[in-house]
């Protein structure tokens, strides 16, 4: 699965050092994994003195947390836009839209996905931004599940377990795509994306009471033109 390339900045300009350091950290992860990142190496990439970044980031964890905040903000926008684009009032379709947007974003932004998924790299508890964006996404999921339950559209009455199952499924599919597992696991004649689409359709069909649930959900993995 080809990795999305992070746009390279032309260099440091007064006032944008923080953003340049974040971009440098993303580049370092892309090139050698999280272990390749240090504040001093990010400073070298930014073309500033080794001590300059420490006004913004006290240590590597603080720098990686900033990368995660950038990632989570973009992730939230992707999810919100997907849910708002659902043309019907069907809560299961909104629920499905979250899963599709999650998978699409992760596949196209594997480095950011790795950073926000690896909690040992970041200080999640200290970041109000991370928690706020995460709760906003969860609220969309929970809201759709509560509404689906109210309208007797779910087979299970346990909303919490349904959400966890969905989260585990989409996370696992994203990791399988990014790590190249679909070279062995893709359905014959299907791409990784098509296989993931079929699996998500299957899951949506299983959680809903209505037999047409899977057919109604728009599970395309591509952005609309």
**Tokens coding 167:** 């989260």
When the pLDDT of each residue in the chain is averaged and rounded to a whole number, the result is 86
3-state secondary structure of 80: helix
If pLDDT is split at 50, 70 and 90, which confidence band does 171 have? Answer: very high
C-alpha to C-alpha distance for 149 and 175, rounded to whole angstroms: 30
Question: Quick check: 224 pLDDT over 70?
Answer: no
CATH code of the domain occupying 8-58? 1.10.10
Question: Quick check: 215 pLDDT over 80?
Answer: no
CA dihedral 5, 76, 223, 149 (to 10 degrees): 150
C-alpha to C-alpha distance for 161 and 82, rounded to whole angstroms: 23
DSSP at 155: S
Question: Quick check: 110 pLDDT over 50?
Answer: yes
Which residues of the chain does CATH 1.10.10 include?
A: 8-58
Which residues of the chain does CATH 1.10.357.10 include?
A: 60-216
Does domain 60-216 fall under CATH 1.10.357.10? My reply is yes
pLDDT of residue 11: 53
**Tokens coding 201:** 């359709």
Q: Where are the alpha helices (DSSP H) in the chain?
A: 17-32, 39-46, 60-84, 91-108, 110-117, 128-150, 159-179, 182-185, 192-207, 213-216
Q: Which of 201, 225, 221 is nearest to 211 (CA)?
A: 201
If pLDDT is split at 50, 70 and 90, which confidence band does 96 have? Answer: very high
Q: Which of 175, 160, 186, 170 is nearest to 78 (CA)?
A: 170
| CA 61 to chain centroid | 20
CA separation, residue 28 to residues 38, 42, 64 (Å)? 9, 8, 11
Q: Count CB atoms within 10 A of the CB of residue 79.
A: 22
- Per residue in 51-90, pLDDT (tens digit) is 787 888 999 999 999 999 999 999 999 999 999 999 999 9
DSSP at 1: -
The pTM for the full model equals 0.82
């Amino acid at each position: 699965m080809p990795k999305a390339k992070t746009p390279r900045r032309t260099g440091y300009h007064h006032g944008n050092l923080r953003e340049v350091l974040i971009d440098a950290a993303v580049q370092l992860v892309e090139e050698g994994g999280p272990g390749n990142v240090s504040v001093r190496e990010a400073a070298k990439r930014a073309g500033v003195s080794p001590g300059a970044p420490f006004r913004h980031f006290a240590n590597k964890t603080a720098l990686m947390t900033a990368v995660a905040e950038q990632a989570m903000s973009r992730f939230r926008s992707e999810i919100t836009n997907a849910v708002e684009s659902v043309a019907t009032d069907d809560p299961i379709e909104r629920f499905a839209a979250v899963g599709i947007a999650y998978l699409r974003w992760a596949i196209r932004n594997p480095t950011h996905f790795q950073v926000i998924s690896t909690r040992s790299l970041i200080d999640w508890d200290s970041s109000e931004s991370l928690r706020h964006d995460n709760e906003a996404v969860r609220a969309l999921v929970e809201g759709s599940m509560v509404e689906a339950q109210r309208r007797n559209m779910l087979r299970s009455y346990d909303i919490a377990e349904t959400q966890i199952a969905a989260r585990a499924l989409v996370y696992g599919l994203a990791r399988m795509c990014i790590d190249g597992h679909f070279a062995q696991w893709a359905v014959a004649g299907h791409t990784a994306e098509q296989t993931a689409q079929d699996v998500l359709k299957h899951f949506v069909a299983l959680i809903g009471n209505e037999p047409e649930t899977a057919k109604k959900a728009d599970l395309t993995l591509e952005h609309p033109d």
